[in-house]
Amino acid sequence: MFDTNHHRAFEKWWEYASKNYVSWNDDKPVAVDLYYDPIVDEHVLHGAMGIIAPAWYFAPQINQLAEVGWNTAARASGAFGDGPITGLDDPGTATMLLQLAGEFADSSTKQKLWEAAEEHIEPTRDQSTGEFTFGLKLNELHPRGQWNARMMAGWVCTQGAWSRIFNEPNLSKFDEPTVEGINFPMVALSEARWDGNTLHIAAHPQNSEAKGTVTMARLANVASSKGWVLTKPSGDKVLLDGRGDHVLFEITVDNQVVMLRQEESQ
């Protein structure tokens, strides 16, 4: 990207690591150092865990190694079988399985894992702040941020999506119309999608107090601010106020999709 090659640092490391930290069976990795201590020349916990632990980070870079990590973890837990799935009562193990399932599992395996995990991960929604978190039955004042973030990455990720972000990046979005000035956290966007001609937006309320309110936002990164129209769910159209380099619009916070489209540019 931008005529740079910062990834070369990883490539140089992998040239060395693949020969010194990884055990291979033909072309298949079977064991990796979890950690190497050069002071005492110790390959710590060389084995399957060394493949599983970094699988999320390897996925966009050495996908073959990452998939071995997922398959190893899934088989060990019983995720590929018809019996019970084990290990989900441990927050660290549950996090690892649910995160990796987003990138590697088919839809039925992913669904089975989340259904089995639900009794252990304590999904909780704060009705006042609108926050959704996993308590993990830790009985702590605040949810664990890293574990929550990793599990939610697995929830939103579809098969192969994490790898595609890096290997097939959507760079056109930087030239497309952009929504700015949303009154977050009272308002969030459950949808903001440009299809090439129309921007589809839905404003989601933080709580019951915000539901049904009207909020103002800006549509920026437009070639012209003239002739933009907002179409409501009812089909009614509103001509928007162009302000030079952006367009002002109001949207009802009810999680219903409205459409913004430039019908005239003059």
**Whole-number pLDDT of residue 59:** 97
Query: Is the pLDDT score of 174 beyond 90?
Result: yes
Confidence of residue 264 (pLDDT cuts 50, 70, 90): confident
List pLDDT tens digits, range 125-157.
Answer: 999 999 999 999 999 999 999 999 999 999 999
- Contact between 162 and 154 under an 8 Å Cβ cutoff? The reply is no
Question: Which pTM value belongs to this model?
Answer: 0.90
Confidence of residue 2 (pLDDT cuts 50, 70, 90): low
Residue range 178-201: mean pLDDT, rounded: 96
φ, ψ dihedrals at 107, nearest 5°: -60, -35
**Whole-number pLDDT of residue 175:** 94
Instruction: Report which of 145, 148, 157, 132 is spatially closest to residue 56, judged by C-alpha positions.
Output: 157
Compute CA distances 36 → 14, 17, 24, 65, whole Å: 14, 10, 17, 18
Cα–Cα distance, 35 to 28 (Å, whole number): 20
- Which DSSP string do the residues of 24-53 spell out, in sequence order? EETTEEEEE-SEEETTTTEEET-BHHHHHT
Pairing relationship of beta strands 214-220 and 178-180 according to DSSP bridges: antiparallel
Cα–Cα distance, 39 to 87 (Å, whole number): 34
More reliable by pLDDT, 43 or 264: 43
Query: Is the pLDDT score of 74 beyond 80?
Result: yes
- Contact between 253 and 212 under an 8 Å Cβ cutoff? The reply is yes
Query: Is the pLDDT score of 266 beyond 70?
Result: no
Query: Is the pLDDT score of 6 beyond 60?
Result: yes
**Whole-number pLDDT of residue 265:** 60
**Whole-number pLDDT of residue 193:** 95
Cα–Cα distance, 100 to 59 (Å, whole number): 9
List pLDDT tens digits, range 79-128.
Answer: 998 999 999 999 999 999 999 999 999 999 999 999 999 999 999 999 99
Residue range 71-84: mean pLDDT, rounded: 95
Query: What domains does the chain contain, in order, with CATH numbers?
Result: 8-167 (no CATH), 173-262 (2.60.40)
**Whole-number pLDDT of residue 1:** 58
Long-range contacts of residues 114-117, Cβ cutoff 8 Å, at least 24 apart: 114/155, 116/84, 116/85, 116/88, 117/85, 117/88
Cα–Cα distance, 4 to 248 (Å, whole number): 37
Chain CA centroid to CA 38, Å = 35
Question: Average pLDDT of the chain?
Answer: 95
